[in-house]
Amino acid sequence: MTSEELADYVTDFIGECRSRILGVGAEQYSCGEMQKFELLPLVDLIRYAREEAQDLAVYAAMVDIRLSRLEAALRAHPSTA
């Protein structure tokens, strides 16, 4: 992968993030001219952010489990790698 290809991938990834903000995110978090996070008391925003950070850790562990299984399968059948 070239640096240009990586940059293009990152651009596409951010585009998907934008789509989430403008789609489901707008449905759930838009309050007209403001976003829900702008109106939340800071204590609530911190709690929500910490919960999201915990979710990221769980998803990272899930991906690691699947990668471990994939790695084991590839090691068992190196000709398919």
At 2-61, the pLDDT tens digits run 999 999 999 999 999 999 999 999 999 999 999 999 999 999 999 999 999 999 999 999
Reported as half-sphere exposure (CB side, CA atoms, 13 A), residue 49 has a value of 9
Residue 39 has a CB neighbour count (10 Å cut-off) of 11
CB 66 within 8 A of CB 73: no
Q: 80 lies in which domain range? A: 40-81
- Residue 25 CB burial class (10 angstroms; 0-12, 13-18, ≥19): middle
Instruction: Note whether 31 and 44 are same-domain residues.
Output: no
Q: How many domains does the chain have?
A: 2
Instruction: Note whether 34 and 47 are same-domain residues.
Output: no
**What pLDDT does residue 81 have?**
67
**What pLDDT does residue 74 have?**
95
Instruction: Note whether 55 and 24 are same-domain residues.
Output: no
Instruction: Note whether 49 and 33 are same-domain residues.
Output: no
| pTM for the model | 0.71
**What pLDDT does residue 27 have?**
96
SS3 32: coil
**What pLDDT does residue 78 have?**
86
